[in-house]
Amino acid sequence: MKSKIVAPTHNGVSMYEGSVHNLRGMLVRVGKQLYDHGLVVGTEGNISARIPETDRVLIKPSGVPLGFLKAEDLIVVDLDGNRVEGELAPSIETPLHTAIYRVRSDVQGVVHTHAPFSTAFGIAGTEIIPLQVEMFLYILFLKREVLKSWQKHAFSNA
């Protein structure tokens, strides 16, 4: 049974609906900027945002290019990755995004691109080295924690 969000209202619009509306607009703008700046190609890359004070996330659906994303295309999923709202299929990268949100309650958004230059480095087997020690340590910590959360979640639902 899925829980319904009950939220206070302001001028006849629930705070939940207002937050979701604003986040949809923001994600559409970010998606267009990523596309326009060449950081994503085709339908690659994903963006998502945590809906404040809920256990829900807005995420780009599968198969929709970020440059052509419309507000109504975005899917609402819970932190387990189950679709709560929306007609399209959630991104296949939804488990990655929800694992980050489960591990880091302070994270409010995730941008995951397949930038052509970094993809080329990966294909060539060339490592992109973090330029600051803090970045290196943070990447190691986040990778470990997200992997643990994803594995625990994936195998508990199998």
87 carries an active-site annotation: no
CA distance 158 to 155: 5
What span, in angstroms and rounded, lies between the C-alpha atoms of 109 and 144?
Answer: 19
* DSSP notation for 72-122: GG-EEEETT--EEE-SSPBPTTHHHHHHHHHH-TT--EEEE---HHHHHHH
The residue from 17, 44, 93, 145 that is catalytic is 93
**Diameter over CA atoms, the chain:** 55
Which tokens in the block code for residue 127? 């490592």
Residue 31's H or E segment, with its range, is helix 15-36
d(CA 126, CA 21): 41
Six token digits for residue 24:
């949809």
Residues recognised as catalytic:
93
